[in-house]
Amino acid sequence: MTGYAAAFDWARRHVAAGRLPSAVLGVATADGVVALDAFGATNGRAARVEDPYWLFSITKVLTGLTAARAIERGLLTTETPLRAAVPEFGGSRDDVVRLRHLVSHTAGIPEPSLDPAGGLRAALLAPGRDFAAGAASRYSTVAFDGIAALVRHTAGREWDADISAWAPALGAAGFTLDPAADPHTVVDAERLGLDMAGFASHRNPGAGMIGTAGDLLALGSALLRIGQGETGGVVQPATLAMMRRPLTVGLPRLEPYVAERGQDWGFTFNLRTRAPGLIDRDVFGHGGWAGTEFWVHPTAGVAFVLLTNQAERPGVDLDELDNTVVAAR
């Protein structure tokens, strides 16, 4: 672990200062996990490296891989319209929302809260639009209910069942939607108005998954190997290359991912290809609402995971951690 001492010092420092209640930090290469440690505690519960956490929007990557696998099987293309699976969608819209819009935050579907009172499907079908499909980019979680509907319609099973089918072979058997897994409590969720029991009941394909650092590190290792040309994995090399292709170049960027953040959206991947604070911009992955992070640096040959459990994190800058991992020596 000594090569990544600066990264683990970063996590330890933020926990000690109270900026993070707990943290599990792990680093992997294509050969597997090379460093892993845990810090802090949640309401007296000491963090351990094997502990589950709410992943929030890292879930989008898992759902995206499931949709990409359906493309590989000839069940979908990026041009498949959402109405193929949800005919009642967009009755008042004069545009066509396709899979490529759903995966790249360009569908223009009005975004509800993380715990919509009427459920995800009602939110997906809400009338109106923010903009015409493909005309701009605004971050969307409800769009992933549309992706899940397309997977269900074409592949014949739920999105999470598909994840359960491919993830264990990678060494990532812990992904679950079941709060009985006992993830660490998000310490400020109640204060910020998120009812975690209600949130969990939606089984949200854009935010609802629970998992461990080991699960995500196993996935990161697999994606590094695929990027090096390994076939037969969760997706094929050409498919991963497709997922990393920017889909939002030249589009207006609306809050919260404005142009100044220096990123594009691929096929559910956040591509931080122009992030001003990074040493290495060849990076893809995703972050989550309560501070969870999952990032893969193909050129540097490294992936890292940070699991934590606090939505408001003043003084915490992910770029600092990212740079320590890439520059480790």
pLDDT digits (tens, 9 = 90+) for 105-139: 999 999 999 999 999 999 999 999 999 999 999 99
Mean pLDDT of 169-188: 98
Q: Three-state SS for 219?
A: helix
* pLDDT band at 1; cut points 50, 70, 90: low
Q: Is the pLDDT of residue 46 over 80?
A: yes
pLDDT digits (tens, 9 = 90+) for 10-31: 999 999 999 999 999 999 999 9
Q: HSE of 227 in the Cβ direction (CA atoms, 13 Å)?
A: 22
Name the percent of the chain lying above pLDDT 90.
98
**pTM of full prediction above 0.85:** yes
Q: Residues 6 or more apart from 234 whose CB is under 8 A from it? A: 65, 69, 166, 167, 170, 219, 222, 223, 226
Phi, psi of 307 (to 5 degrees): -110, 130
* pLDDT band at 2; cut points 50, 70, 90: low
- Give the residues across from 137 on adjacent strands: 253
pLDDT digits (tens, 9 = 90+) for 227-248: 999 999 999 999 999 999 999 9
- Quick one: DSSP state of residue 183? P
Mean pLDDT of 88-114: 96
Q: Is 59 exposed, middle or buried (0-12, 13-18, 19+ CB in 10 A)?
A: buried
Chain centroid to Cα 234, Å, comes to: 16
Q: What's residue 74's pLDDT?
A: 98
What CATH class is the domain 2-326? alpha beta
Chain centroid to Cα 296, Å, comes to: 12
Q: Is the pLDDT of residue 307 over 60?
A: yes
The three-state DSSP-derived secondary structure of 130-148 is CCCCCCCECCCCCHHHHHH
For the chain, the structural domain boundaries read 2-326
Q: What's residue 45's pLDDT?
A: 98
Q: What's residue 243's pLDDT?
A: 98
Phi, psi of 259 (to 5 degrees): -60, -30
Q: What's residue 119's pLDDT?
A: 96
